[in-house]
Amino acid sequence: MCEFLVAQASRLSVSKMQTSPLQKLTGETPVPLRLERDFLGELPVPAAALHGVHTARARENFPLACRPVHPGLARAYGTVKLACARTNRALGAWANEPAKADAIERACGELSAGKLLEHIVVDALQGGAGTSTNMNVNEVLANRALEILAATSPGVATACRHFRPANPAPELLVGSSRGDEAQSSAGVLPAGSGTVPVPGARTGGETPPEPAAEDGCATVEAEARADDRISPLDDLNLHQSTNDTYPTALRLAAIRGLQTLEQNVVALQESFQAAEKKFAAIVKVGRTQLQDAVLTTLGREMGAYAEAINRDRWRIYKCEERLRVVNLGGTAIGTGLAAPRAYIFQVVEQLRELTGIGFARAENLVDATQNADVFVEVSGLLKAHAVSLLKICTDLRWLASGPEAGLGELRLPARQAGSSLMPGKVNPVIPEAVSQAAMLVLGHDATIATACAAGNLELNPFLPLVAHCLLESLDLLARADDILRRHCVDGLEADEARCRRQVENSTAAATALVPAFGYERASEAARLARQNGATIRETVMSLGWLTGGEFDVLISPEAVCRLGTPGTNPNGIESFSPESASRRACFGISSPRGINPNGIESISPGLASPRAYPGVTGPSGINPEGVVSNQSADGPGPATPEART
């Protein structure tokens, strides 16, 4: 794309079929061009393009990211434009031109539905606070509305379909009110001013020229009516500014991204909860600072991951509220200049009806126009989720390391061969890939903070960078959650035998002896085991301190999962017997989570689960069977956007 943009910057003189130097080198077919003019001069535009001169200048000026604006932003812009058009129509705009109003609304609806995304071509990174994106949208919608008007209104001249094979009907018009794009303060040029007709191009209010015989396309010869002309500025941008439509579209796109992300976060949380139950009875060595510490269960580790993801889900749900306050109607700097009061009060209502999202007009439109701190806040919450993913993926890589010479407690699903040299090697590619996505989100967060801090006076000119980073972070996290769940967590397997061997061989098992006969004797058992190359189990049995059965009770899932050390005497030493220890472990627990007689952790809302936040049952309610549901008393409620109000 960048090569094309650079080649286009040469501003070739226009003929019916002009070949650029790049096309001469590559042998590509010449592209038909038309000439458009604004107050800066003339510029060639591809004849079949729906965009106009402003978009063409932006493509020349900003070959930076070499990718167009985010499709979610383009679709959201279509929705915002539709809300603006409906509000203007309700207030009397186009009262004598109902067909024109219908065409504008239909064009906006098509962009909102994603049908015109290929025509939003300006670079994601651009100067002008998003003006190029706004004008790209305005030009495309104006031209598309003209096509619709030509197809639905008799007597409107149509042009050759040859250059737009994707059009749904042969009578659709190719072209627009070309040349309208100059700012009104500089004098709007009349439709078709300064254009050079080419086959297949309609120029504003002109009657199209007779096509060449070889085109084989029929033309309706009729004078264009006054309402044939649809202006990107006077119609599509009526009572609007980039400075209120762009941030509003960004907020809408971000909310939709958050809703998708939340669904994937919920699915990942539930996957870890399933692993928590699956591995509840597998005792393993717990480690601090990468050194053997105390015993735990693999289920407990999975439960901790589920808890971290659950907090992220709550944050994501709550941060949507910050984005619902918009400055639509504030126009240039939040004062509502050039917009009727009725429009300012009604346009957000229209947006709310169209989206089903509870948007509200900012109480201080000037503040909402110049300050972008809300995006920093949202990005910070996304960063928190990225941090959780990075930590979890690092743990999964450690737990699956080896497998023979590492920890090897977990087996990750094998996704692909790991080496072009080392046979049989399988790498933890999914956690590695998700880690990279998380790292990129951390970088985007720093960029967003810098861009939002760099605003000047009444406007922040760096919102295109904020939009690029924020929406990409949402995409990255949603995809990362999805592949981590489907390609990794859902298929996790435990090496129970290896976990058991490590428990018996590790000095971490000595900690489990402390409740039985105190720290000093447990330390002596650990020293002797290391000195003699024996296991803790073998050592305490040889010393006659415990039987094998008693040792097994101390390292059982019930024992290692209980909260605290119940039943200790005044000296801090637990009165021990295998029966009482087992009984306490199974039934005498004052813990956020109960453990049933089978050693399987139960998750009950009646036990004040850590998943419950103050005053609510938690962002994901947990039913008596321990299964997460997506509803709670005051929590986020249904995860699907369709269920929201």
3-class SS of residue 41: strand
Which of 389, 396, 407, 357 minimizes the C-alpha distance to 251? 357
Burial of 552 (0-12, 13-18, 19+ CB in 10 A): middle
Distance CA 611, CA 636 (A): 13
DSSP secondary structure string, 309-339?
Answer: HHHHHHHHHHHHHHHTEE-TT-TTTSS-TTS
3-class SS of residue 35: strand
Q: Quick one: tokens of 76?
A: 């959201």
| Distance separating the N- and C-terminal Cα atoms of the chain | 41
Amino acid (1-letter code) at residue 32: P
The sign of the dihedral angle between the CA atoms of 432, 434, 436, 442 is negative
153 an active-site residue? no
Contact 609, 593 (CB under 8 A): yes
Q: Quick one: tokens of 73?
A: 């932003």
Residues in contact with 125: Cβ distance below 8 Å, sequence separation at least 6, in sequence order: 62, 64, 65, 464, 465, 468
CA 240 to chain centre: 27
* Gyration radius (Cα) of the chain, Å: 33
Distance CA 416, CA 430 (A): 10
Catalytic residue (one of 10, 13, 184, 419): 419
Which of 452, 439, 306 minimizes the C-alpha distance to 382? 439
Angle at 276 between CA 273 and CA 282, to 5 degrees: 170
Contact 85, 105 (CB under 8 A): yes
Which of 556, 588, 575 minimizes the C-alpha distance to 518? 575
Q: Quick one: tokens of 17?
A: 């079929």
Angle at 142 between CA 90 and CA 15, to 5 degrees: 165
CA 193 to chain centre: 43
Could you tell me which residues are beta bridge partners of residue 482? none
Q: Which residues are catalytic?
A: 419
